[in-house]
Structure 1
Amino acid sequence: MPTATLPSVSVKTRAWAYFDRIVADAALDGAHSNPWIIDPEGLLAYAADFDTLERLLGVPLYLKAATTTGVPALALDVWLSYELRRAGFGKDAVWPRAAHPRILPQPVAKLMDGAPKRLQAEISRLLTTKTSIQGVTSSSASILGKNYLKQVDVIMTDWQTGPELLISTKRMDSSFGKNAANRVEESYGDAKNLRLRHPLAALGFLFGLRSTILDEEPDKAEWLIDLLEKLGREDDAYHATCLVMIEYGGSVEAPADDDVLDAENPLVSAGLESEPEDEDVPSEPSSDVDAVLAALPAVKILHDKIPAALSPSRFLGTMVRRVIDATPVTMHREARARIREVADSVY
């Protein structure tokens, strides 16, 4: 009797199983820790969860995921979304969500929450068993800027408010001389495009960079870091920029760059090509996930190589505060309460 052939599972599908477990371990039973602290100078500050970030960054290395798969940069997106939930924003408000479907409009989530239990189950089954539903769910989100649609990696939006937070992420582990200028130039254009249509949205840019650039091409590293700082000071560009300096062992192979900037296809964002189907479910067996997470390559964030102006904690604090400052006190109550909980204990 011939053996049945099992369907192949995409690298991104495998990565999501590991990402989801890491995030779930960091927020047991959905309870997120409060990221706000009082720093040594007595000031309210955001304290990012770097342990979780380092675990997430180990996943694409374990999978040997090429840049074209989108998985290396996706690790940064997953972490940012997790941090925004730590800050008190709703589980369905921040995309990508911590469960499939990754992009789910809030009215649909509210409809499901308010529906009778039987109907809830039917809607849930429909949403979770399909990779995407055109016009409803998706694996990525595109937002119209001044002149063109742009895929945004981490986003908070609703029909009542419009976009409230837009974060673009890039990652570069190799080919520094070949791609550094292109990525910075592209980020300037993206910022202008989005800022002009959504001036009140908190607009941010996070750049993940492998630390080998510091030894291999120190001049380019200095130039790139300087540009990132300047990019966060422009009046009509990003409200904040961020650098994540990533170190991992020389024996661990860097994600293949394949001479592309990232996995985003601008023609898909513009609606000129259809988005490729992305198998997002099912996840791998629990025992396999546990074994893989125990064997992830070690990754370290080099905080001493990151200028204070580009600190991930500073970046997240700035983005959260901009969202809160641009909305009425009746909105984002949990995010406000988390800040008050710490601030009131001192002031």
Structure 2
Amino acid sequence: MSVKTEAWTYFDRIVSDAAPGGVHSNPWTIDPEGLLAYRPDFTALQRLLGVPLYLKAATTTGVPALALDVWLSYELRRAGFSKDAVWPRAAHPRILPQAVANLLDGAPKKLQVEIAKLLTTKASITGVTSSSASILGKNYLKQVDVIMTDWQTGPELLISTKRMDSSFGKNAANRVEESYGDAKNLRLRHPLAALGFVFGLRSTILDEEPDKAEWLIDLLEKLGREDDAYHATCLVMIEYGGNVGTPADDDVIDAENLLVSAGLESEPEDEEIPSEPGSDIDSVLANLPSVKILHDKIPAALSPSRFLGTMVRRVIDATPVTMHREARARIREVVDGVR
């Protein structure tokens, strides 16, 4: 089993434990000032972030950043969006068009079994399932980490994630510059889609390079204030002991993905076919390395709560009242409860 395939096994179990029987808690609440606020599940996030540390997964494996993607898609399902509409899905295949999911739900039982077997026993099916999604922007295709789309609506939500655990001085500027270009490319073709950017940053930057940390955080805030870029940006300040990856990892994290998205290279075969991990899941999850989110180091404008609330409301505001009924109902439930 590849590191990413094993990571998915633990990710899926964490998400399943957080939503027993597929029932998600309502993330909306009323804050002390009487305003509607989104309350993220940080317990689930911290457990997900512990998986790459347990696996000693280098940045180049994509697993450290994938932990953020899994959490964001889980939060969007908590907000009330369809389990099949938000990618990556909580089960293999991670990318499954809504039309195919509808076909599966509406097929006779016998055919359902056959279709499900075809979808779940193959790593990917060209043009149908995949492990990642690329969306055409104004000038080029861009791989998007968390997405909600359908052929009827086009992209409704697009979130790009980056993560940096080392080589702060060398790579910080590159990560921000890439993100700004990606935002312009996507926003110009999909102006109504909720467009967001999440940056996972290891807290050691605060001690090792405080000036760089201040500069980077300021740039992230500015990215969320541009009229033609992101609707919201988010910082996740991650604290943990030990090490994951190496400084050299950050130099090549996106090089292959950009070429694949542009159609200049073939997409590597997706190795993720569900299988049993070599160790006991319960034992591993009970002893994951400790991870903390340093909320006091995150400016209010970059808080995960503000980010998720903004993204969800933008999707709802840009669609008719007949769409995303569960997401609307979850907000209404909290608002009506305080009247």
> Please, what TM-score do these two structures have when normalized by structure 1?
0.95
Does the alignment pair 1:335 with 2:327?
yes
| Secondary structure in structure 2 of the residue aligned to 1:171 | strand
| Equivalent residues of 2:60, 2:250 under 8 A apart | no
Aligned alpha-carbon RMSD (Å): 1.1
In structure 1, the partner of 2:179 is 187
Query: Residues 91-128 of structure 1: CA distance to partner in whole angstroms, max 9, x if unpaired?
Result: 00000000000000000000000000000000000000
| Equivalent residues of 2:130, 2:270 under 8 A apart | no
Does the alignment pair 1:320 with 2:316?
no
In structure 2, the partner of 1:260 is 251
Structure 1 counterpart of 2:246, one-letter code? A
Q: 1:286/1:52 Cα in 2 relative to 1: closer, same or farther (>3 Å)?
A: farther
Does the alignment pair 1:140 with 2:132?
yes
In structure 1, the partner of 2:116 is 124
Instruction: Determine which of 127, 142, 150 is the counterpart of 1:150.
Output: 142
Contiguous gaps of at least 5 residues in structure 2:
none
Query: Residues 166-196 of structure 1: CA distance to partner in whole angstroms, max 9, x if unpaired?
Result: 0000000000001000000000000000000
Instruction: Determine which of 23, 42, 49 is the counterpart of 1:50.
Output: 42
In structure 1, the partner of 2:66 is 74
Aligned length: 337
| Greater CA drift, 56-65 or 263-272 | 263-272
In structure 2, the partner of 1:95 is 87
Structure 1 counterpart of 2:211, one-letter code? D
| Equivalent residues of 1:37, 1:342 under 8 A apart | yes
Q: 1:261/1:313 Cα in 2 relative to 1: closer, same or farther (>3 Å)?
A: farther
Instruction: Determine which of 273, 287, 290 is the counterpart of 1:281.
Output: 273
Does the alignment pair 1:307 with 2:311?
no
Q: CA deviation at 1:278?
A: 2.2
Query: Residues 130-151 of structure 1: CA distance to partner in whole angstroms, max 9, x if unpaired?
Result: 0000000000000000000000
Query: 2 CA distance for matches of 1:330 and 1:23?
Result: 28
| Equivalent residues of 1:72, 1:255 under 8 A apart | no
Does the alignment pair 1:16 with 2:5?
no
Q: CA deviation at 1:43?
A: 0.8
Q: CA deviation at 1:285?
A: 4.7
Query: 1 CA distance for matches of 2:186 and 2:32?
Result: 36
Percent sequence identity is 87
| Secondary structure in structure 2 of the residue aligned to 1:142 | strand
| Equivalent residues of 1:173, 1:210 under 8 A apart | yes
| Equivalent residues of 1:179, 1:261 under 8 A apart | no
Does the alignment pair 1:65 with 2:95?
no
| Secondary structure in structure 2 of the residue aligned to 1:281 | coil
Query: Residues 17-43 of structure 1: CA distance to partner in whole angstroms, max 9, x if unpaired?
Result: 000000000000000000000111111
Query: 2 CA distance for matches of 1:101 and 1:259?
Result: 27
Query: 2 CA distance for matches of 1:255 and 1:52?
Result: 22
Contiguous gaps of at least 5 residues in structure 1:
1-8
In structure 1, the partner of 2:27 is 35
